[in-house]
């Protein structure tokens, strides 16, 4: 039982990150008390994917899930032998999506041609295992859409994780029938205010919520937390900001985003949240 009437799903939390080692169980408990009843732990390397699976396995049934993927920053590490390992991990029962995968031309930590090959291979993997993809794109929209358009018909689903783009990019993603993940970026008065203008154009059935913790702590939290680490207990704050921009209640947004997340990732309510 949680202390909140809201029931939310954080579709993107880097819970395997080192910053959570000391108090990971407390982070999950604070999330539950805030009404965040289910968490999807992001895998961005082979190591973090393995850790994410172990976290999901150790948690009470139906509480934590994981993704299996290699972030474009690490695309150069995805060698043939590693592909076999990732394919095996992607088939694990606790894995609900392939990714985080995509393109990142902002940092270019891996060569762009290598990023594109790794992205296409992970899209093919998602098709083989019949799971949706958890997508990353930064400063690579045109190549990202070109590659995704080729593979989209064979994919069972996809979410544009941590969407920060403009209306034209949003329309392109919606045309590809992507779900859209919104983070605390929308709470940033320096660079996220444009999202408040365009989130009303996202169909409710395609709008998902995430913290992307430990990153992207909402800048407008009051009082400001002593730590700059983001965590799932702040998801209701993000939900309230998104709901206000859409001129709907936070409860309504929580209901529709939770239902959308469960459809995309094939989740059922956690046992303790049945009937809430």
Let me know: does 261 contact 13? Beta carbons within 8 Å.
no
Looking at residue 276, its pLDDT comes to 41
Looking at residue 3, its pLDDT comes to 41
Mean pLDDT of 150-179: 98
Q: Which residues contact 101 (CB under 8 A, 6 or more apart)?
A: 69, 70, 71, 72, 118, 119, 122, 123, 133, 134, 135, 136
Residue 206 has pLDDT above 70, yes or no: yes
Let me know: does 206 contact 263? Beta carbons within 8 Å.
no
Quick one: which of 106, 104, 95, 32 has its CA closest to 65?
A: 95
Mean pLDDT of 45-63: 96
Residue 16 has pLDDT above 90, yes or no: yes
Residue 1 has pLDDT above 70, yes or no: no
Mean pLDDT of 186-198: 96
Tokens representing 118 are 């790794």
pTM of the model: 0.95
Looking at residue 254, its pLDDT comes to 98
pLDDT over 90 for what percent of the chain?
Answer: 94
Q: How far apart are CA 26 and CA 17, in angstroms?
A: 15
Residue 242 has pLDDT above 70, yes or no: yes
Please state whether the peptide bond connecting residue 44 to the residue before it is cis, i.e. omega within 30 degrees of 0: no
- The beta-carbon contacts of 219-226 under 8 Å, at least 24 apart in sequence, are 219/184, 219/187, 219/188, 219/189, 219/190, 220/187, 220/188, 220/189, 221/187
DSSP β-ladder status, 64-68 and 179-182: unpaired
Looking at residue 148, its pLDDT comes to 98
pLDDT in tens, 132-146: 999 999 999 999 999
| Banded model confidence at residue 272, pLDDT cuts 50, 70, 90 | low
Residue 59 has pLDDT above 70, yes or no: yes
CA 71 to chain centre: 12
Assign domain 8-273 to a CATH class: alpha beta
Q: Which residues contact 140 (CB under 8 A, 6 or more apart)?
A: 102, 103, 104, 105, 106, 112, 115
pLDDT in tens, 93-142: 999 999 999 999 999 999 999 999 999 999 999 999 999 999 999 999 99
Tokens representing 114 are 């290598």
């Amino acid at each position: 039982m949680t202390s909140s009437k809201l029931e939310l799903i954080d579709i993107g939390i880097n819970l395997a990150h080192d910053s959570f080692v000391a108090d990971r169980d407390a982070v999950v408990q604070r999330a539950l008390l805030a009404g965040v009843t289910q968490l999807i732990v992001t895998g961005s390397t082979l190591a973090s994917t393995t850790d994410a699976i172990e976290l999901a396995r150790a948690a009470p049934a139906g509480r934590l899930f994981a993704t299996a993927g290699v972030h474009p920053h690490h695309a150069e590490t995805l060698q043939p032998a590693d592909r076999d390992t990732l394919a095996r991990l992607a088939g694990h029962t606790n894995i609900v999506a392939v990714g985080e995968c995509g393109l990142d031309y902002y940092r270019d930590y891996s060569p762009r041609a290598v990023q594109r090959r790794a992205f296409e291979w992970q899209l093919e993997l998602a098709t083989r295992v019949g799971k949706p993809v958890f997508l990353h794109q930064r400063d690579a929209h045109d190549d990202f859409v070109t590659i995704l358009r080729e593979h989209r018909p064979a994919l069972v689903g996809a979410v544009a994780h941590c969407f920060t783009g403009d209306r034209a990019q949003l329309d392109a993603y919606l045309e590809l029938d992507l779900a859209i993940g919104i983070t605390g970026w929308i709470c940033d008065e320096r660079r996220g205010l444009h999202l408040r203008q365009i989130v009303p154009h996202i169909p409710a059935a395609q709008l998902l919520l995430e913290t992307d913790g430990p990153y992207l702590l909402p800048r407008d939290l009051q009082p400001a937390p002593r730590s700059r680490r983001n965590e799932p207990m702040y998801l209701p704050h993000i939900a309230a900001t998104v709901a206000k921009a859409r001129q709907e209640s936070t409860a309504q947004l929580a209901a529709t985003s939770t239902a959308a997340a469960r459809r995309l990732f094939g989740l059922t309510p956690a046992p303790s949240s049945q009937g809430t």
